[in-house]
Structure formats: C-alpha cells, structure tokens
C-alpha cells in the first residue's frame, strides 16, 4: 500500500511498497522532467523491487550472468547490481543546490547510510576507491548499500539500495558493481537475526530526509 508525506521543507516522500523496476523507472523519468520544470516538488520514492538485475553504463560483459539471466540496461552510472525483496530502494529526484557536485551528493548518501547502520550496531564505512557503504574487517570487504545516480539539468534520479534481509544468493550470478574481490551483506546477515523492512524504514527516513532537504533547492 502506497502513502505520501510532505516534509516541512516541501520534500515529497512516497512509500510505494513493492513495484516492478520498469514501472518505477518510468515514474522516475516523468517526475524528473516535472522537477526540472518546477511543476513537481523534490521527491523521494521508497520501495522494494521484485527480483531484477540492472546494468549501469560502465557494466562489462564479464560482470553479467553466465546463464542468460535477463538483465535490464539502464541509464544510471555504475555497473551491474541486483534488486529484490528485503532491500529498501530509494530514488531521490531532487534539484541539487550544487548541481556540479554529484560526488558530494554521493558522499552525503554514504554518510546517511553509515549513520543508519550505526543505529543497528553495525560499523559501516566509506571506501574511498569504491562507491557505496561497506563493512571492512577480518571477514573481508562486504558491501551493504549500493549507490548509482543519473543527473540531468541539476536534477537527480536513480539512487541507493540498502540490504535489509534479502536473499543474498541472487548476487552469486553476477560480479556485483563489477568488484570481483568483494562480498555483499545485509543488516540481517551481520546481526544474525531477522530485521524487517518497517523497522529499518523508520531509521532510514530519520537520516535520509534531513540530508536531502539540506542538499536540495
């Protein structure tokens, strides 16, 4: 069941529940055009996708599944990734205050996710050579949140994906984000217990919404 709220600074937040990737992609593009034209306010779409592999513009042939599993080629940055149930996907469609500092916006998203993980007792961190949010310890490097964006006329689309409790075996068919020597993890996997989406969604909004309001105009 979808719901919409508008924050104090006129950021529209839409909880869409489970929605297929192509429908959400079409929705993003339509909203982006309206934000560019000052018809719609800055918007954050929060949702889950049924299982789908998507390939960003830098995806290599060797990153893709070897068994002919379907992959959608999309217009975001980055490489190949997977979306599925148990993962919170966020698509911020906002007009950036500093339209030339896309890297700075990625860093803001990373910081917010590090804070989210910290609330669950997980020490996540930024990995300067690699986008996204990581755990790095004696168990190896593990990605817990992925980020991939597209910016047109200063307005963003696509966004982030935080692994809450997905079936991580889906990642075994690909080289996630094109990084062969790193693993993928989730809040539930790290804590050794089931964490539900609703529990994380509240914490995510606490950190993501003020950040988006701060960096948008």
Query: Per residue in 166-190, pLDDT tens?
Result: 999 988 877 665 556 668 999 999 9
Burial grade of 17 (CB within 10 A; 0-12, 13-18, 19 or more)? exposed
Pick the catalytic residue from 162, 177, 182, 195: 177
Q: Which two tokens stand for residue 51?
A: 């299982």
Whether 177 contacts 78, CB under 8 Å: yes
d(CA 131, CA 78): 9
The yes-or-no answer on residue 128 being catalytic is: no
Residue range 91-123, pLDDT digits in tens: 999 999 999 899 999 999 999 999 999 999 999
Q: Distances from the Cα of 14 to the Cαs of 1, 39, 77, 92, 144, in angstroms?
A: 11, 17, 23, 10, 23
pTM: 0.90
Exposure pattern of 104-128 as b/e (b: 16+ CB <10 Å)? ebbebbbebbbbbbeebebebeebe
Q: Which two tokens stand for residue 45?
A: 């779409």
């Amino acid at each position: 069941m979808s719901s919409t709220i508008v924050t104090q600074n006129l950021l529209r937040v839409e909880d869409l529940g489970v929605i297929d990737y192509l429908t959400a992609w079409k929705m993003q593009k339509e909203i982006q055009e309206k934000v560019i034209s000052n018809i719609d306010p800055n918007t954050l779409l929060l949702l889950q996708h049924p299982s789908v592999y998507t390939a960003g513009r830098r995806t290599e042939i060797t990153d893709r599944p070897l068994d002919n599993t379907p992959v959608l080629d999309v217009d975001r940055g980055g490489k190949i990734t997977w979306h599925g149930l148990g993962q919170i996907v966020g698509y911020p469609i906002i007009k950036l205050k500093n339209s030339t500092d896309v890297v700075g916006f990625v860093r803001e998203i990373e910081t917010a996710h590090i804070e989210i993980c910290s609330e669950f007792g997980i020490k996540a961190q930024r990995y300067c050579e690699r986008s996204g949010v990581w755990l790095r310890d004696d168990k190896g490097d593990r990605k817990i949140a992925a980020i991939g964006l597209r910016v047109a006329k200063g307005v963003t689309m696509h966004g982030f994906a935080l692994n809450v409790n997905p079936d991580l075996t889906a990642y075994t068919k690909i080289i996630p984000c094109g990084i062969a020597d790193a693993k993928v993890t989730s809040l539930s996997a790290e804590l050794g217990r089931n964490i539900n989406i609703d529990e994380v969604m509240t914490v995510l909004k606490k950190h993501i919404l003020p950040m988006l309001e701060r960096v948008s105009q």
